[in-house]
Structures are given as structure tokens and as C-alpha cells.
């Protein structure tokens, strides 16, 4: 199974939460602190490594502030 992780540019995020609703494993949540423009950005909250790197969050993000990294096991 593939595992992934995301990077969110918190300064560009406006906290619309579209990525939260699009995330199948529900590993995106709102950050407890505001960014410099006054919004609560989203953050990756994935202590159990449930993110698959599906990139649905990045596809729906209107600010294009999410970068997805996907780790795929290569057969030996």
C-alpha cells in the first residue's frame, strides 16, 4: 500500500476546509493558530500514517497551497 504526506503552505491557506472534506482518511484538520493574514490554515494530522498520497486535497484546493508526496514501495 502506498503512503503519502502533504505539505501545506499555511501562509497561503484561507482555511476553506475543502481539502478536509475531500480527504478519505480524514487526516487534515484546522491549525490552532492563525496565519499572518488572519485565517486558521489546515494542517496534516497523521500520527498513524494513514495518508495515501491520493492528492484529492490538492485537487480541490482553490489556493493551490498543497503539495502531495507519495511513497510507493518498489518490488525488489
The per-residue pLDDT for range 18-75, each reduced to its tens digit, is 999 999 999 999 999 999 999 999 999 999 999 999 999 999 999 999 999 998 777 8
Domain annotation covers residue 76: no
Is the predicted pLDDT of residue 76 greater than 80, yes or no?
no
Q: What is the pLDDT of residue 74?
A: 79
28-30 and 66-71 strand pairing: unpaired
CATH code of 27's domain: 3.30.70.20
Q: What is the pLDDT of residue 1?
A: 66
Domain annotation covers residue 32: yes
Q: Model's pTM, two decimal places?
A: 0.88
Is the predicted pLDDT of residue 2 greater than 90, yes or no?
no
**8 alpha-carbon distance from chain centroid:** 6
Domain annotation covers residue 33: yes
**Overall number of domains in the chain:** 1
β-bridge mates for residue 18, sequence order? none
By residue range, what is the domain housing residue 24? 3-71
Amino acid at each position: 500500500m502506498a503512503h503519502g504526506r502533504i505539505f501545506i503552505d499555511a501562509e497561503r491557506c484561507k482555511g476553506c476546509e475543502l481539502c478536509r472534506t475531500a480527504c478519505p482518511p480524514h487526516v487534515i484538520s484546522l491549525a490552532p493558530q492563525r496565519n499572518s493574514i488572519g485565517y486558521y490554515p489546515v494542517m496534516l494530522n497523521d500520527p498513524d500514517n494513514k495518508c495515501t498520497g491520493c492528492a484529492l486535497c490538492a485537487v480541490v484546493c482553490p489556493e493551490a497551497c498543497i503539495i502531495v508526496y507519495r511513497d510507493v514501495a518498489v518490488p525488489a
